[in-house]
Structure 1
């Protein structure tokens, strides 16, 4: 199994493209435009959400502590700012912070990863790219997520979201899943055991019984990521085998 190993510069570079693209899309849409990929949300809700993510991450990476900062829930959009201004203010501040960020500095996160600041540029890059896609879809202009970034987003779901228990559904799943993104030259094998999940190397799979994948999914890295995040159906990809296992991979 090969996975993209991003760097701070890679994720900041992605944010330099995805942030302005998000802003352009929401500026084009009337505030109450429904966001079809986020049922119940409007463009205003989506914009405020991403601005709030930036505000909180700014606190996490500047607190110089592995403990979750107190009072982080308090905040939200100040009344003197429009939703887009709130987004832009948060984006600009966070990008300036990320530029000088030491990835090894202590910083809280919710995942089973080391509590280091380097967690957050990756997380924010993927949060922004998927919500950029949401915003563009709302104005019928959705562009795929760039292949290398999307492949790293798939890896993030498998190595971060699922081990943290962030699934859409509850249940027990058992078997090996093979995901393939030929456009990014990436394959992922993972073993589901009840509520647990383990990423596997090909050599590791061959050391176990029942090593054959019970389901295989192939598509572009962007479509794989969007399917795992619940934005598109797995039916839009090539699926062979036990589709029920895919319910154990959805997050978002």
Structure 2
């Protein structure tokens, strides 16, 4: 496993565990309406456990074989910590090129999960922090511009295209949305929204809408999290169609 990637994941997980222990489990998560701290921590534990099974078996986990909550008497944050330790052991025991099933149907390798894990943790760390009395800036949580730029790349080339295929887009014709990082980190991205879903496209030509901002703000916007300092121009319906794709 790449040492830098592991260090990033370890830092994100340490911050998540700290917040999960510190915050009351009943605190609402403003960025995930209807969820509490305990429910978000439970979600993360389940996701990490499924990742472990998929890597170990190279197959999807059978839903009825996966626990839906911690053992009786175990706090949610302890179950999450155990789930992470087990997943980390599995990752360290495999080569990054080892086969591992994932739901996109592409890049069926362990390395896919290392990247997905980093961004699953990063976005939900932002969510947990939002339940704090005094939320922090993403940078202080361990989310730097390089991680954010990679996260936007993963979102528009891996995560959303597979999700959008099963969600017809309410567009009368193909629409193009361009993301422009203003901090010099990462690269601009253009995506096309059409009836079949979403795909990354060349930057040539004029987009129907443009979103400009720092890599971190674009990352948060892409995941439908609150942002500040963005510049959004062009067709509002194009932006709305992008935001409506399930995350």
**Using the alignment, how far apart are the partners of 1:189 and 1:161 within structure 2?**
15
2:224 is aligned with 1:223: no
Q: Which residue of 1 aligns with 2:17?
A: 23
Q: Which residue of 2 aligns with 1:143?
A: 137
State the TM-score, normalizing by the size of structure 1: 0.85
**Using the alignment, how far apart are the partners of 1:247 and 1:53 within structure 2?**
28
Number of residue equivalences: 236
Q: Which of 70, 87, 90 does residue 97 from structure 1 map onto?
A: 90
Q: Which residue of 2 aligns with 1:178?
A: 178
The Cα shift of 1:186 comes to 2.3
State the TM-score, normalizing by the size of structure 2: 0.86
The Cα shift of 1:169 comes to 6.8
Q: Which residue of 2 aligns with 1:61?
A: 55
**Using the alignment, how far apart are the partners of 1:98 and 1:120 within structure 2?**
9
2:40 is aligned with 1:42: no
**Using the alignment, how far apart are the partners of 2:224 and 2:10 within structure 1?**
25
For structure 1, list consecutive stretches of 5 or more residues without a partner in the other structure.
1-6, 206-210
For structure 2, list consecutive stretches of 5 or more residues without a partner in the other structure.
none
Q: Which residue of 2 aligns with 1:75?
A: 67
**Using the alignment, how far apart are the partners of 2:6 and 2:242 within structure 1?**
27
Deviations 1:90-132 (A, max 9, x none): 1122122223321221111111412222111111110101111
Q: Is the 8 A contact 1:68 1:108 kept in 2?
A: yes
Kindly indicate whether structure 1 or structure 2 has the higher relative contact order, using CA contacts under 8 Å at least 6 residues apart: 1
Q: Is the 8 A contact 1:167 1:248 kept in 2?
A: no
After TM superposition, the structure 1 = structure 2 runs for residues 120-159 of structure 1, keeping only pairs within 5 Å, are: 120-139=113-132, 140-144=134-138, 145-159=143-157
Counterparts in 2 of 1:176 and 1:249: CA distance versus 1, 3 Å: same
